[in-house]
Amino acid sequence: MLKLKLPFIIVISSLMTTACIQNQSRPSVTNEQLKFALSNTESRLENQIRQQCQKIIDNQSKHQVGLQSFSKEQQITRKQLDQLNEQVEELNETLVQRAVVQSAQAVKATATNSCPPAAPVTLNDKLVLGQTEWLWIESVNRVFPARVDTGATTSSLTAQDIVTLERDGQKWARFTIVPEEGSDNSYEVEAPIARIANIRQSSTNELDKRPVVRLTIRIGNMTDTAEFTLTDRSHMSYPILLGREFLKDIAVVDVAKKNVQPKPDILKDRASAIPKKAKQANPKASDEE
């Protein structure tokens, strides 16, 4: 019995000895060591996290700067596009205006070239006149409206500021003609006096001496010399009246019509009178338009 237990005891003793030796080769870890290891690990992780966060912040800053730069470039590009659009609109307006002007000039040129001057209206070699016509006066190179009146014997012309003067031994009259009542475009005219007419005033039955001047005129395409009594017609609608003495043998009158004859043209190679008011405002003004 003792022989059987002895080997078993030896085995148990060997195992216990081995366990003790192994326990002695592995020293135990203290709490301070654990705390220190944990602290180092936390610090290392914290540094890594901080570095990662800093990288993210740096990348965000770079992206933000890039976005701001891109936004500024967009604004500059938008302004440039707006300026280009404005320039295109201005160019279009200029081209349209130029096209309209050129078209109008072309139409005018075509009309001028294709349409001959209006021909005078005649009947049995006499001018046909309406109750009103345009009259050109040579001394001022101007065109005035005139009333045709077969009931009046003589022709008359509205005149203001009449002054009689002598030139080369002949009596002349200087006066102002006003195209219409209230108009500022009055014109100074000088013409030789043909005679003195005695005009009986209807209101007082007294005779009024009025100078009769001789003027070169044109009506339609007919140029002639006619006599006009200078009188105050400012209360009338027309500054000039054409009477029977002028009309006889040269014209027939159709009172149902107006301005039958074409309007005479102002001569371009001759000076035209400027309004008297403009002369007073600018004494150095030329008599040429």
DSSP assignment of 199-260 equals EE-TTT--EEEEEEEEEEEEETTEEEEEEEEEE--TTSS-SEEE-HHHHTTTEEE-TT-S--
Pick from 189, 155, 127: which is nearest to 146 by CA? 155
pLDDT in tens, 140-176: 999 999 999 999 999 999 999 999 999 999 999 999 9
Q: How many CB atoms lie within 10 A of CB 148?
A: 26
**pLDDT < 70 regions, the chain:** 1-27, 106-119, 180-184, 202, 273, 276-289
Q: For position 116, what pLDDT does the model report? A: 58
Full-model pTM = 0.55
Using CA atoms in the order 243, 247, 251, 257, what is the torsion angle rounded to 10 degrees? 0
pLDDT in tens, 10-49: 656 666 666 555 555 556 778 888 888 888 888 888 899 9
The C-alpha atoms of residue 246 and residue 212 are separated, in whole angstroms, by 13
Pick from 158, 145, 147: which is nearest to 255 by CA? 147
**Contact, 215 vs 144, CB < 8 A?**
no
